[in-house]
Structure 1
Amino acid sequence: MPDLYDRAQEREQQNTQDAQAHYRASLSPEPEQVIVAGCVLCIDCDEPVQAARLAAKPNAARCIYCQGEYEKEQRRHG
């Protein structure tokens, strides 16, 4: 049975891997935005990219949901 120290090490390793994957994803160039009638549309689902997302990342090309799915897929295929 793993003790508290072993579980803490496992969690730290997972957090490090997640942070590294997030960092690598942030380095990849952002795809070009699709803008229709002044509205940025998600390149994956064609829905408008949320204003809060654009405020945080003005060059975002995906809505927050699709970006999350994209990042999950990137982590799976590393």
Structure 2
Amino acid sequence: MSEPGSNNVLPAFRTPGEDMVPFLGAMTPAQRLAKGLEMHDLARCLVASGVRARHPDWDHARVRAEVCRIMTADDKD
């Protein structure tokens, strides 16, 4: 596992940078929720792309199961 602050792994949770605070503060709660869901969908797509790249022989169901496993894993070794 990488050291905290390492460029190898993004932290699971991060405080928004000062440049993001005005942007987020101007959004309604519904807009912030929509943006969070959009980012989650993007993360899921990126994980799926990585799984497909590592396992091109896997079918859709197996890729989907692996994406679910990765996205819900407690430990991110």
Counting strand residues as a fraction of each chain, which structure ranks higher? Answer: 1
Same fold (TM over 0.5): no
Structure number with larger C-alpha Rg: 1
Q: TM-score range by the shorter chain?
A: 0.3 to 0.5
TM-score after normalising by structure 1: 0.43
TM-score after normalising by structure 2: 0.43
